[in-house]
Structure 1
């Protein structure tokens, strides 16, 4: 059985990455409340379902994308149940076709490894290389469920606080698309 801890409302005592530490420092500074759980490494959708049940929310799907030249980057946030179609995404933004960005670029730009992509990664993007793109359906949810920058820490935050407070603080104004 997949381990999911009891719900906590404080930052971890020890951080496993610079990004994870920045996440909790930023939420504290912005006075954004959260609930979080610690887990085994979440790999499958079944793992995410157990996290969703514990936190009573729906985890978002966060994809790190780029153009073929690897000069334009997108952090696409959608609902977990929607399949990703690069053509539809590119058409919605009127851009050339995108694909998944290489793992090493995700780690370099967002400070996260595969499986831990999160909106909080923009804290590491000091050069504003990444355009944050939300599927409008994510914004219909009261709660925003995501990784804390690790594959073993997940949290829920009010969606409006991510959109209006956090992203403004991180200097990443999102684009909203319908897919």
Structure 2
């Protein structure tokens, strides 16, 4: 049976209150960069399966954002791919020509990205703690018109123009992503 997740009406304005410092920073930067967005508020959403009703409400497909690290936990990667793609560590590592990676620990996600499991977002690159995280984008994401992601929480989701992410946000955070096809 499909789990029903509450999804609010679509908003085009910032939230009245913020639940995390990262979430507040996200909306400040969206306004600064004049990036238009649509957003919804939801019950807590952790899995890609739970995102289906969000996708329907915002008429787009949510990206999958994974926080990965090497065995020594010294190199970190934020990998953004399509929500329906299975993650294959071997293919990812081969595409970047690096040793095998694994998922970073929840504590590292909190400390470096300012989020918890289910809320990983490209917007964590706003945080100085994420300064050494390598952004890796799946080419398929770059080819989409819309970019759907968390606002840094498990209860707020955004629809933005992919072009705005690539041409406004990434230069703002001084990030040159590696783009791979897997």
The root-mean-square deviation of aligned C-alpha atoms, in Å, is 1.0
The alignment's TM-score, normalised by the length of structure 2, stands at: 0.95
* 1:75 maps to which of 74, 78, 94: 78
Q: What is the alpha-carbon distance in structure 2 between the residues aligned to residue 79 and residue 92 of structure 1?
A: 16
2:37 pairs with one of 12, 34, 42? 34
Alpha-carbon shift at residue 125 of structure 1 (Å)? 3.4
| Residue 59 of structure 1, aligned match among 41, 57, 62 | 62
2:108 is aligned to 105
Q: Which runs of 5+ in 2 are unaligned?
A: none
Assess, with a 3 A threshold, how the Cα gap between structure 1 residues 43 and 135 changes in structure 2: closer, same or farther: same
**Count of residues in correspondence between the two structures:** 179
Partners in 1 of 2:133 and 2:49 — Cα distance?
29
Runs (5+) with no aligned partner, structure 1: none
Residue matched to 1:5: 8
Contact 1:145 1:154 in 2 (8 A): yes
TM-score (norm 1): 0.97
Mapping 1:9-158, distance limit 5 Å:
9-126=12-129, 128-158=131-161
Note if contact 2:113-2:130 (Cα within 8 Å) is conserved in structure 1. Answer: no
